[in-house]
Amino acid sequence: MSLHVVIGFGPAGAATARLLVEKGHPVRVVTTSGRSPEPGIEHVALDARDSGRLAEAARGAAAIYHCAAPPYHRWASEWPPLASSVCAAAETTGAVLVMLGNLYGYGPVDGPMTEKLPLAATGTKGRVRAAVWEQARKLHEQGRVTAVEMRASDFFGPGVTDGGHLAARVMPRLLRGKPVATLGDPDAPHSWSYLPDVARALVEVAGEERAWGRAWHVPTEPALSPREMVDLLAARSGTGPVAVRRLSPAVLGVASLFSPMIRELREIRYQFDRPFAMDSRAYEAEFGARATPLDEQVEATVDWWRERLTTTGRPA
């Protein structure tokens, strides 16, 4: 089987690498700090912004999966050199470049988001993410790389510990039957991309020539509000109804004085203050893919978190 290289080992990178191993592929994971080896996965420590070293690490690879991202408050300064290096490595090696994207590039829109919408974001993070894909797309059109982007909404599911929406800030409290707080309007419909579906889509498009050269949306179930998701998770956990409250803008304002991450959330508050729904029917129609049924997503997520808290005692 062919070598596959995964850049980044956050939730999506780890899920993608492990899925590739399940399919029999040797996998090399590139991170800044490296990690201990695990079955089927070689971990390499290097700065992915070093295009020469990255190309050497990816030599002979069938595909490069770009699942890394700088810290929120350093997107503007670190995304451009990282994206350029990854594109250069793909050009040097001839590997298919599979990019994990998100929905920031569209900016605030009315109605469900489709891949046909322009990348019209005006905020810094949205413009940066749009530029990253546009760079790869232009290189693809010039015949210099083979690139494809899979766009997902907020991650949800087993393995998702970071981010506060349905992860470490919510699940441990929910499993104890305690009230939870959400960013923005708890009743605004929102799309949640199930992590195993994200990994499956990334792996699938690497080998599908008809997917290359454009962006697609990861198969995702219809949008549900944070309150609706918490209700489903609480019902599965057996804790009974859990109160869902909106985080106070005043509290967020004070916290932003001390946290660069929270300050950066101001730009994307629209994603939680109003409906934020993605339409993944184009990918589903083209490849016959479907999101994992919602009840299975909820069951697996609650079971994973319960086991994690039992064995580690830590939320993240």
Q: Read off the pLDDT of residues 85-131 as tens digits, 9 standing for 90 and up.
A: 999 999 999 999 999 999 999 999 999 999 999 999 999 999 999 99
Q: What CA–CA distances, in Å, run from 301 to 16, 200, 311?
A: 17, 17, 15
Look at 51 and 266; give whichever has higher pLDDT: 51
CB 315 within 8 A of CB 161: yes
The owner of tokens 């498009």 is 205
Rounded to 10 deg, the angle between the 11-22 and 195-206 helix axes is 60
pLDDT tens column, 140-155 = 999 999 999 999 999 9
Which has the minimum average pLDDT: 48-52, 214-218, 260-264, 271-275?
260-264
Q: What angle do CA 28, 9, 228 make, to 5 degrees?
A: 140
With bands split at pLDDT 50, 70 and 90, how would you rate the model's confidence at 183?
confident
The pLDDT score that the predictor gives to residue 72 is 85
Pairing relation of β-strands 3-7 and 154-156?
unpaired
Alpha-carbon 57 to chain mean position: 23
Q: What is the mean pLDDT of the chain?
A: 93
Q: Maximum Cα–Cα distance for the chain, whole Å?
A: 56
Token digits for 179?
């009230």
Q: Give bridge partners of residue 44 from the DSSP assignment.
A: 30
> What are φ and ψ of residue 41, in 5° steps?
-120, 125
The owner of tokens 């489903």 is 232
pLDDT tens column, 79-95 = 999 999 999 999 999 99
Task: Report the Cα–Cα distance between both ends of the chain, in Å, rounded.
Answer: 34
pLDDT tens column, 234-292 = 999 999 899 999 877 766 666 666 666 667 678 888 999 999 999 999 999 999 999 99
The residues near 220 (Cβ < 8 Å, ≥ 6 apart) are 152, 153, 191, 192, 193, 194, 197, 278, 280, 291
pTM: 0.95
pLDDT of residue 315 exceeding 60? no
Q: What is the residue-wise DSSP string for 248-292?
A: PHHHHHHHHTT-HHHHHGGGGTHHHHS-B-B--HHHHHHH---PP
Which has the minimum average pLDDT: 33-37, 66-70, 224-228, 229-233?
33-37
The pLDDT score that the predictor gives to residue 121 is 95
- State the Cα–Cα distance between residues 159 and 299, nearest whole angstrom: 14
Alpha-carbon 220 to chain mean position: 12
Average pLDDT over residues 172-179: 95
> What are φ and ψ of residue 223, in 5° steps?
-60, 140
The pLDDT score that the predictor gives to residue 23 is 97
CB 48 within 8 A of CB 68: yes
Helix (H), strand (E) at residue 64:
strand 61-66
